[in-house]
Amino acid sequence: MTIIDTLLEPRWIITVNDDNEVLENHSLAIHNGVIVDILPTQQASKQYQANNTLQLEGHALLPGFINSHTHAAMSLYRGLADDLPLMEWLQEHIWPAEQQHTNQEFVKVGTQLAIAEMLRSGTTCFNDMYFFPDETAKIATEIGIRACVGLIVIDFPTVWANDADEYIHKGLQLHDQLRHQSLITTAFAPHAPYTVSDAPLQKILTLSEELDIPVHMHIHETTDEVNDAIKTTGKRPLQRLSELGALSPQLIAVHMTQLVQNEIDSLATQGAHIVHCPESNQKLASGLCPVQDLLDAGINVALGTDGAASNNDLDMLGEMRSAALLGKIASMDAQAVNATTALRMATINGAKALGIDVVTGSLEVGKAADISAIQLNSIETQPLYDPVSQLVYAAGREQITHVWVAGKHLLNSRKLTSIDEVSLLADVATWQIRINNS
Ligand SMILES: [Zn+2]
């Protein structure tokens, strides 16, 4: 008998490995935060003596979701301004609110709220872009969730920095501080082509190559963005980025609702990653990302919620369903973005985009125990012919019962173990009053 930390005994294990295997009546063994074995349950009980054994009858285990694009702290602006197009929403509501309210304390509480919501919906890793990324990293580490923290860069002054050079300088300092953190990685996060000029972009691209970290950017989010760029620069934003040398496997291009065939071809050739945010794109009426065309071209497409101010939730189960449904409309093909594809976009494809697929993104021996358990024997997902179909097309996040990150049990029977929910809600209420009164 081998002694291990934890043995999980679910009905199904949805591995999201290369063969998309779904195993029935198998157990998953965790030791020192790592998946050390996946084997038939009968065999597991003979082979392992676990300090904790959890029987999960009627449950499926799946890899924790990777929310590949969000602005966690913006949870405090959830519902502040709805039913508006992107630029009006940004310029008349979000940017003024940020100028007035966003500070370190705001980011602390907003990020805690976002992480609490993400854990309660099965997300174990998020790719963030916001001010005070030092605070985001600190909160994520304290709670124990995995994160890629965006080193934000924007041309104009904000509470975080005064000019592009200062943003880059502070980003580099933070990257240095975080280098040895096991759960936190970093990416440069130039906000968008229309808010970051050539000189800082060039600097970022050189640094990203030197440091081997991704560049995470909103690109081609709306037709207006593309048309305005043509007016002012004579080029589509992707053309300009391509000339700067930005198209590479380091690029995490978010949204991409406006793409023509030669752009898709060059993104594929250069190995860039794309993050699709179907609900944010629908809510801001930004446009349709041609997801199936991108996948057919061999591009890695991941999935993100965007911030809670434009979604308005951080629910990757809902996002998978939206991606699958919207993908069919975008292609006018019911076979487009099938359930398995949507699940891969929400898990392993995100890990690939963030460059952490050797660590997470699927349930395989040797990877970190970043796992969620979903209860599928409830009314809402019965009868059950295919667990992946239920997961994508029928299940709700309330059915997520347990979550582990690197083997740490962060959600236990829907209770958060590393967040004080009562004091978090009190802090959120204080911010609501402050923002409401202004
Ligand atoms: Zn965004």
Cα-to-centroid distance, 384 and ligand 1 (Å) = 35
| Banded pLDDT at 288 (limits 50, 70, 90) | very high
What are φ and ψ of residue 292, in 5° steps? -65, -35
Q: What is the mean pLDDT of residues 332-351?
A: 98
Cα-to-centroid distance, 130 and ligand 1 (Å) = 9
Cα-to-centroid distance, 403 and ligand 1 (Å) = 25
Q: What is the mean pLDDT of residues 328-339?
A: 97
pLDDT digits 0-9 by tens, 158-215: 999 999 999 999 999 999 999 999 999 999 999 999 999 999 999 999 999 999 999 9
| DSSP assignments along 94-149, one per residue | IHHHHHHH-SHHHHHHHHHHHHHHHHTTTEEEEEE--S-HHHHHHHHHHHT-EEEE
Distances (CA, A) of 2 to 35, 36, 208: 14, 11, 43
Cα-to-centroid distance, 389 and ligand 1 (Å) = 28
Cα-to-centroid distance, 72 and ligand 1 (Å) = 10
The amino acid at residue 260 is V
Q: Are 323 and 342 in contact (CB under 8 A)?
A: yes
Confidence check: pLDDT of 438 > 90? no
Cα-to-centroid distance, 75 and ligand 1 (Å) = 12
- Arithmetic mean of pLDDT over the chain: 97
Cα separation, 45 vs 10, in Å, equals: 13
pLDDT digits 0-9 by tens, 216-228: 999 999 999 999 9
Cα separation, 361 vs 119, in Å, equals: 15
Cα separation, 277 vs 307, in Å, equals: 10
Q: Tell how many helices (H) and how many strands (E) occur in the chain.
A: 17, 17
**Cβ-based burial of 335 (10 A; exposed 0-12, middle 13-18, buried ≥19):** exposed
Residues in the chain: 438
Q: Are strands 34-40 and 146-153 parallel, antiparallel or unpaired?
A: unpaired
Cα separation, 75 vs 318, in Å, equals: 17
Cα-to-centroid distance, 306 and ligand 1 (Å) = 5
Cα-to-centroid distance, 189 and ligand 1 (Å) = 10
Q: How many whole angstroms from its chain centre is CA 106?
A: 21
Cα-to-centroid distance, 307 and ligand 1 (Å) = 6
Cα-to-centroid distance, 69 and ligand 1 (Å) = 6
pTM of the model: 0.98
